[in-house]
A = this chain, B = another copy of it.
Amino acid sequence: MLLPEPIQDLINAFSRLPGIGPKTASRLTFYLLRAQDELSLDLAEALKNIKSGTSYCQTCYNITTSGRVECEICASPERDKSLVCVVEEPLHVLALERTGSYPGVYHVLHGALSPIEGIGPEDLRIRELVERVRSGSVKELILATNPSMEGDYTAAYLHQQLLPYGVRLTRLARGLPVGGDMEYADQSTLLRALFGRQEMS
C-alpha cells in the first residue's frame, strides 16, 4: 500500500491489541502523527516499563510493584487473612476493591480452566492456592471465578480439590443485575434469581 513503513508498523502493532481492528489502529496512528511527540513517547515509555516495573505478590499472585514480596492488600494489617477471595484476573481484584466493603484478601489464578483452550490446573496458580489452604490460617474461600462455563468449571474443580481441608467454600450470588430490567434478563439468570430468592425482612 502507499503508507510509509513506520506508519504501517504502528498500525500493525495497534491491531494486535484486543478489540482494536485495522480501522481503529489507523485512526490512533494518524491521531498520534498529528499530536505532540510527547504523547507517543510517553506511551512508548510506559509500555517498556510495564513488564520490568511489575512483579507478582508471592502470597496472592496479584500484580504489584517490582521488588515487593507482598502486594499492599496482603501486607495490610487491616485485612482479614482468614477470608480469601479467589479470582481469575487482577482486574477482578480491582472490581471487588471498588465496592469498598470486602475485608479479606485475594488469590489470583491468572485464568480459568478450559479443556477447549488446553488450559489445565498446572497453568493456573492452583497449586499455590492449595498450599495456602493447607498451611492453615484460611477459614473461608470465596470462589469468585466468572459466572461462565469456564469459571463454573474452575470453581467446581477447586471445590473438589479443597474439600478435604475442611475450609468453608462459597460462591458469589447469581441473580438480576442491579439497575437491570427483568425484560432483558436471560433465561438462566432469571432461573438463578428465582432459585436464589430471599425473604424480605
Residue ranges of A at the interface with B (Cβ–Cβ < 8 Å): 1-7, 9-10, 12-14, 16-20, 24, 26-34, 37, 39-54, 63-66, 71-73, 89-91, 93-94, 97, 110
Contact = CB atoms under 8 A, between A and B. Distances in A.
A13 B27 contact: no
A43 B72 contact: no
Given A13-B46, A40-B51, 12 more contacts: A4-B66, A6-B46, A6-B54, A7-B50, A7-B63, A30-B90, A33-B90, A34-B110, A40-B48, A41-B47, A41-B48, A44-B47
Oligomeric state, in copies:
2
A94 B6 contact: no
22 contacts: A2-B93, A4-B63, A4-B64, A4-B65, A4-B66, A5-B65, A9-B46, A13-B43, A13-B47, A14-B43, A16-B43, A17-B28, A17-B43, A29-B50, A30-B90, A33-B54, A34-B110, A40-B50, A40-B51, A41-B47, A41-B48, A43-B47
